[in-house]
Amino acid sequence: MLTLAYSPCPNDTYIFAALTNRLLGTDAPQVRVALADVEALNEAATHGTYELTKISYGAIPHLMDRYRILRSGGALGRGCGPLLVAREGAPRSIESLARARIAIPGERTTAYLLLRLLLHERGIAKFESPAMRFDRIIPAVATGEVEAGLIIHESRFTYRDAGLVSLLDLGDWWESRTGLPIPLGAILARDDLGLERARQLDGAIRRSLAFARANEPAIMPYVREHAFEMSDEVMHKHIALYVNEFTDDVGELGIAAADELFARARNANLIGAAEPRFL
Which sequence positions are flagged as catalytic? 153
Name the packing angle between helices 110-121 and 251-267 (round to 10°): 50
Around Cβ 25, how many Cβ atoms within 10 Å? 9
Backbone angles phi, psi at 130, to 5 degrees: -65, 135
| Residue 32 CB partners (closer than 8 Å, separation 6+) | 1, 2, 3, 4
Element holding 86 (H helix, E strand): strand 83-87
CA distances from 95 to 99, 120, 126, 165, 166 (A): 7, 12, 11, 18, 16
CA atoms within 13 A on the CB side of 41: 29
Q: Where are the alpha helices (DSSP H) in the chain?
A: 10-20, 38-45, 94-98, 110-121, 134-142, 155-158, 170-178, 195-214, 216-225, 232-242, 245-248, 251-267
Please state, in angstroms and rounded to a whole number, the distance separating the CA atoms of residues 104 and 270: 16
